[in-house]
Structure 1
Amino acid sequence: MGDTVLSLRDARLTLDGNAGPVEILKGITLDVAQGETLGLVGPSGSGKSSLLMLMGGLERATGGQVLALGQDLTTMDEDRLARFRMANMGVVFQSFHLIPTMTALENVAVPLELAGVADAFDRARAELETVGLAHRGGHYPAQMSGGEQQRVALARAAVVRPRILLADEPTGNLDGVNGAAIMDLLFGLRDRHGATLVLVTHARELADRCDRVVRLVDGMVAEPVAA
């Protein structure tokens, strides 16, 4: 494996709940190497998605340190975090998060347009072709199946050629056939762009394809094991 691209040191997350503060993550120390595929597994409520959000700067640690590509995410303001994510990360969610008023092509082009890339639509079109949806570029999310929407979401995450790819239950809303296709695409994107992939999953077959699996229980790392 290459250099460390994600490094957490005693990372903690405490959120305010109705009955007072709730400890979501209780001191996570973890390194992820360049080009590694890391699976985060564990029961519901164990903190898997929260840990992924810390890695992506989508949630701010309330203690400890989170480094991505040598940059301390815990000291960045929202604007710097957004710029850093746009330049270095792709994020895929279980619920797709496509913009309903935009076509598939427009959705994929969004991060490139925000970054001021001149050939945004050409690159977006090429990425849609990679996920097998060149013919659906003019369709809106409501006109596509769940599997197609997740393919668009994958294309949008990959189009910036991210160094870090984060996926939160990417097959969770899909049937077996579509889930298997998304798995293949996800690992294909990783291989094509040389990205480091961190994914949260309940699917054993997806975890089995990872280089390493870390199990979370009650906001703590229970057992890092080889996949």
Structure 2
Amino acid sequence: MSDPVLSLKNAALSLDGNAGRVDILHGITLDIARGETVGLVGPSGSGKSSLLMIMGGLEQATGGSIHALGQDLTEMNEDALARFRRGHMGVVFQSFHLIPTMTALENVATPLELAGARDAFERAAAELEAVGLGHRSGHYPSQMSGGEQQRVALARASVTRPEILLADEPTGNLDGANGTAIMDLLFDLRDRHGATLVLVTHAPELAARCDRVIQLADGQIAPDMKAAAE
């Protein structure tokens, strides 16, 4: 694979807990190509979300290396990681993480405002229209359903036109109909912006739509998946 968008070499993650040091990820080696869609699957506690977090620099790996778009995330401090994400990544969480005191439009415009974009609100409005929520731009998260909040979160993640889109259980808090709608929007965003999409999911139907599925078990890529991952 030439010039992977994401490249992990022996990546590890250990965290200190009440019972002492806990090893969460063990020697993950994985390359993801530009434009590829990869599903991370496995039982609860297998390390799926932790792997996604270290890919995005939201959690610092404690071993190995992680390169995104040729940049070594393990060498960056928190400020540098925040700037890198702002310019190159979009992240969608299961629990939406919208700012409750901001309208849908303000939530979506926030990453553009932080980047100094003069047309932040115009672009945010266009992105809300793209996810079918132009008519809800003045509403606050508490005034929206879970499906609508996740659409706002998707719009916020994609408004900066990120090269990498990371999604952690994006349909986990939604019913079947809303989950299907969010799946369709995720893949539409990937197609419209040409982003590389990595998602954590328990939903077989969502994993089935990915170009590649990586199975995790006990903080490692499952043995039969290693050849496919490398």
Report the TM range for the smaller structure's normalisation.
Answer: over 0.9
Query: 1:43-122 to 2 correspondence within 5 Å?
Result: 43-122=43-122
Which digits, 9 at most, give the CA deviation of each residue in 1:64-84, with x for residues without a partner?
A: 000000000001011110000
Partner Cα separation in structure 1 for residue 2 and residue 70 of structure 2: 14
Runs of 4+ in 1 over 6 A off after TM superposition: none
TM-score norm. by structure 2 comes to 0.97
When the two chains are superposed, the root-mean-square deviation of aligned CA atoms in Å is 1.1
Counterpart of 1:123 in structure 2 is 123
Partner Cα separation in structure 2 for residue 187 and residue 43 of structure 1: 24
Any conservation in 2 of the 1:46–1:218 contact (CA below 8 Å)? yes
Which digits, 9 at most, give the CA deviation of each residue in 1:41-62, with x for residues without a partner?
A: 0000000000000000000000
Which digits, 9 at most, give the CA deviation of each residue in 1:89-130, with x for residues without a partner?
A: 000000000000000000000000000000000000000000
Size of the aligned set, in residue pairs, is 226
Partner Cα separation in structure 2 for residue 154 and residue 17 of structure 1: 32
Kindly provide the amino acid, as one letter, of the partner of residue 206 in structure 2.
L
Any conservation in 2 of the 1:2–1:35 contact (CA below 8 Å)? no
Partner Cα separation in structure 1 for residue 133 and residue 110 of structure 2: 17
SS at match of 2:5: strand
Counterpart of 2:175 in structure 1 is 175
Partner Cα separation in structure 2 for residue 100 and residue 2 of structure 1: 42
SS at match of 1:101: coil
Matched-pair identity in %? 79
Counterpart of 2:157 in structure 1 is 157
Which digits, 9 at most, give the CA deviation of each residue in 1:186-214, with x for residues without a partner?
A: 00000000000000000000000000000
Partner Cα separation in structure 1 for residue 62 and residue 3 of structure 2: 26
How far did 1:2 drift?
A: 6.7
Counterpart of 1:201 in structure 2 is 201
Partner Cα separation in structure 1 for residue 117 and residue 43 of structure 2: 41
Kindly provide the amino acid, as one letter, of the partner of residue 135 in structure 1.
H
Any conservation in 2 of the 1:5–1:33 contact (CA below 8 Å)? yes
Counterpart of 1:30 in structure 2 is 30
Any conservation in 2 of the 1:109–1:120 contact (CA below 8 Å)? yes
Partner Cα separation in structure 2 for residue 2 and residue 144 of structure 1: 43
Kindly provide the amino acid, as one letter, of the partner of residue 4 in structure 1.
P
How far did 1:3 drift?
A: 3.5
Kindly provide the amino acid, as one letter, of the partner of residue 159 in structure 1.
V
Partner Cα separation in structure 1 for residue 56 and residue 15 of structure 2: 18
Which digits, 9 at most, give the CA deviation of each residue in 1:7-43, with x for residues without a partner?
A: 0000000001111100000110000000000000000
Where does structure 1 lack aligned partners over 5 or more consecutive residues? none
SS at match of 1:160: coil
SS at match of 1:64: strand
Partner Cα separation in structure 2 for residue 3 and residue 41 of structure 1: 25
Kindly provide the amino acid, as one letter, of the partner of residue 170 in structure 1.
P
SS at match of 1:4: coil
Partner Cα separation in structure 1 for residue 107 and residue 3 of structure 2: 32
Counterpart of 2:135 in structure 1 is 135
